[in-house]
Amino acid sequence: MIEISQLAKKFTIENPKKLSEQEKKDPRLKGKFFHSVQDVSLNCASGEVLGLLGPNGAGKTTTLRMLSTALKPDTGSITINGVDVLKKPVLARQKIGFLSGSTGLYGRLTGRENIAYFGQLHNMSKARIEERIQSLADLLDLHSFLDRRCENFSTGMKQKTAIARAVIHSPEVVILDEPTTGLDIMAAQTVLNFIRGLKEQGIPVIFSTHHLEEVSELCDRVTIVNHGRTVFNDDIATFRALSPGSMSSAFLSALGTEA
């Protein structure tokens, strides 16, 4: 179970003169601070998949980075299966599998070496790491490139390797920031099938996406963030009911925007 309540995070503007005109008009810009996240709440139970939606720059990635412990919120609370993430970040990290927007693979290492290294960081035994890599290679179709250097990987190869690295330690919750962006249809489907498998295991999954068809296929819940605030947080049926015509219309309706 993942529970987030009233998260907020602001950043200091180092050089206001370098802001674009669009950034200057953003209502979250207040004095020398940019309030990226102002009030975000959501929850995702065991076996649920939650789609985190919102316009570009809405605060989704900042929210996920706080959930992953990469950023510390200014206010609010985060709990994962009863563990207070803010009070016990090290324990929380053991429970989290997090894929950021950038794969960040070590290019001179092979895919196998990248994944194994993260297993070692989680104090996994060599035998357990090898077992998990074999299992993940089957699930994510990694076998054909697993022992090649990552610097020569395609976008899809990098993304699938990064996902395997994120879940090598069998986390209790999984957080994915736009996991299918830039992938071809086959690679994207492999990732979506992997998320389905996590759901079948009862693992809560939160993933951000701009692809509403993925939300329709996978999600039990939807949270929409706009200007750093939660504007919708409910189940998929309630989301669809906002505008029965299409998912896009429902999304625009939640934002208060006419199609």
- Cβ atoms < 10 Å from Cβ of 36: 22
> Which domains does the chain carry?
2-255 (3.40.50.300)
26-30, 167-171, 195-199, 229-233: range with lowest mean pLDDT: 26-30
pLDDT at position 174 over 90: yes
Structure tokens at 203: 């693992």
The band of 100, judged by pLDDT with boundaries at 50, 70 and 90, is confident
Give percent above pLDDT 90 in the chain: 70
pLDDT at position 259 over 50: no
CB 179 within 8 A of CB 163: yes
Q: Which residue has the higher pLDDT, 228 or 24?
A: 228
Give mean pLDDT, residues 62-89: 93
Structure tokens at 86: 């803010």
- Note the pTM of the prediction, 2 decimals: 0.87
Give mean pLDDT, residues 66-85: 93
Per-residue pLDDT at 21: 78
pLDDT at position 103 over 70: no
CB 209 within 8 A of CB 202: no
Kindly give the pairing relationship between strand 221-226 and strand 229-235: antiparallel
